Amino acid sequence: MLDLAFLRNNLEAVEARLALRGGDNPLAGFRELDRQRRAAITEVERLKAQRNAGSEEIGRLRRAGQDTAAQQARLRELGEQIKTLEEAAKQHDAALDEILRTTPNVPHESAPAGAGPEQNVEVRRWGKPREMHFTPQAHWDLGPSLGILDFDRAAKITGARFAVYWDLGAKLERALMNLMLDVHTREHGYTEVLPPFLINSASLFGTGQLPKFAEDLFKCEGHDFWLAPTAEVPVTNLFRKETIPAERLPIKIAAFTPCFRSEAGSYGRDVRGIIRQHQFQKVELVKFARPDQSYQELESLTADAEDILQRLDLPYRTVVLCTGDMGFSSAKTYDIEVWLPGLNEFKEISSCSNFEAFQARRAEIRYKPDARGKSDFVHTLNGSGLAIGRAWVAIVENYQQPDGSVVVPDALRPYLNAERISAEGRAI
């Protein structure tokens, strides 16, 4: 959410930057609505002030033992008037609120202008895709043939876009989770958190998934509970409606959670394999930072995520998203894309964003710069560190051998207790 006063004073500049995201101008009706709303508020408050003064007067007269029937009748009428005007004021208020709640964040000046993914800019590349003197298999062939990935039974027990992991497949998922959490908590200074996986509407509003993107989520019937689409939601909302002492910043949290997404509107995309599932696991990194430090925190957050790929010796590139490809709440986003030989392309495995005060304003997360100063909104950031399912794919595809076996990367061997997954799916 953008700041109302800031919007009022910088409307044209904000509109110009939002235009870089593409689509219609979300602030088209702002100026007029704002004017109407303020006029309505002024009038209602004027009448309420009158009523309050009148009520006080009645209190005084009563105590003096005087009759107040006439005053009461007059104020009753005033009350009717207030009620009517208040209805109108509420409508203006709701209309303006609707604009505020559905207007995306303003892109940071360092985010490249562009209409879509083609205009994202590669900022660095790490590692070289292995030379394979055979035709690499995609994980959706290799996984089932190793007996570690099972789509048929997942379809039976649940439906499309779900998977069952067997034996070393399940263990590989768990090994990745442990490696990521260990590295981030022991070496990168993050605090581990295990949050609820069901979250309420207020939390989803705080991070920006609601009200606009309800169709991407799963809702629990009969409850104000939703399946978390990412740990970003519960973890960022940990500090909702709180004021954090400045000396505690930056707060850095790593959280493992499953993530649930309806993937509405992505029917044709990534239909094979486990690239795009309704449920996947992720280790998420979340930061709360002072505004003047948030962009350097974004750089280190991205580096922390990249470090996992380096330890797994998986080639990747990092791109900065252009204004037309960024998410609703983000001011600047880096995507990390891992090389997948089976698909023969780089595929997003992490998305690291600085939301500046956009989420903090929605979720009312403040900090106090010092004991005397006024509190201000923190900046929130988050990034996948990493998406575990896609890391699983990257390992199986990048480390596959001509004989159909998969070599286990050094960093995972202590976790998996194996050096290789044989073509028959056994630990060696």
Q: How far is the CB of 21 from RNA (least distance, A)?
A: 24
Q: Is residue 62 near RNA by the rule CB under 7 A?
A: yes
Catalytic residue among 284, 390, 397, 405: 390
The answer to whether residue 261 is catalytic is: yes
Quote the CA–CA distance of 322 and 352 in Å, as a whole number: 13
Q: How far is the CB of 38 from RNA (least distance, A)?
A: 4
Containing 17, the helix (H) or strand (E) segment is helix 11-19
Using the 8-state DSSP alphabet, how is residue 327 labeled? -
To 10 degrees, what angle do helices 139-146 and 388-398 make? 80
The answer to whether residue 284 is catalytic is: no
* 112: nearest Cα among 103, 104, 121, 102: 121
The span of 63-71, 122-130, 275-283, 398-406 binding RNA (CB under 7 A) equals 63-71
Distances in whole angstroms, Cα of residue 265 to Cα of each of 177, 198, 261, 341: 29, 23, 11, 27
The answer to whether residue 351 is catalytic is: yes
Quote the CA–CA distance of 217 and 237 in Å, as a whole number: 17
Q: How far is the CB of 157 from RNA (least distance, A)?
A: 20
Q: Is residue 371 near RNA by the rule CB under 7 A?
A: yes
Q: Is residue 45 near RNA by the rule CB under 7 A?
A: yes
* 201: nearest Cα among 192, 189, 190, 214: 214
**Among 16, 19, 59, 345, contact with RNA (rule: CB under 7 A):** 59
Residue 67 or 403 having the CB closest to RNA: 67
The answer to whether residue 375 is catalytic is: no
**Among 49, 94, 113, 160, contact with RNA (rule: CB under 7 A):** 49
DSSP assignment of 113-164: P-SSGGG-EEEEEES-PPP-SS-PPPHHHHHHHHTSEEHHHHHHHT-TT--E
The span of 289-297, 304-312, 371-379, 404-412 binding RNA (CB under 7 A) equals 371-379
Q: Is residue 58 near RNA by the rule CB under 7 A?
A: yes
Q: How far is the CB of 399 from RNA (least distance, A)?
A: 37
- Residue type, position 283, single letter: V
**Among 2, 75, 251, 343, contact with RNA (rule: CB under 7 A):** 75
Q: Is residue 55 near RNA by the rule CB under 7 A?
A: yes
- Residue type, position 398, single letter: N
- Token digits of residue 76: 């009753």
Residue 83 or 124 having the CB closest to RNA: 83
Site for RNA in 10-39 (CB under 7 A): 34, 37-38
Q: Is residue 72 near RNA by the rule CB under 7 A?
A: yes
DSSP assignment of 335-386: EEEEEETTTTEEEEEEEEEE-TTHHHHHHTEEEESSSSSPPEEPEEEEEEEE
The answer to whether residue 276 is catalytic is: yes
Neighbours of 52 (CB within 10 A): 11
The span of 4-12, 105-113, 169-177, 269-277 binding RNA (CB under 7 A) equals 4-12
- Token digits of residue 180: 């990521």
**Among 5, 23, 131, 247, contact with RNA (rule: CB under 7 A):** 5
Q: Which residues bind RNA (CB under 7 A)?
A: 4-5, 8-9, 34, 37-38, 41-42, 44-46, 48-49, 51-56, 58-60, 62-63, 68, 71-72, 75-76, 79, 371-372, 374-375
Q: Which positions are annotated as active-site residues?
A: 261, 276, 348, 351, 390
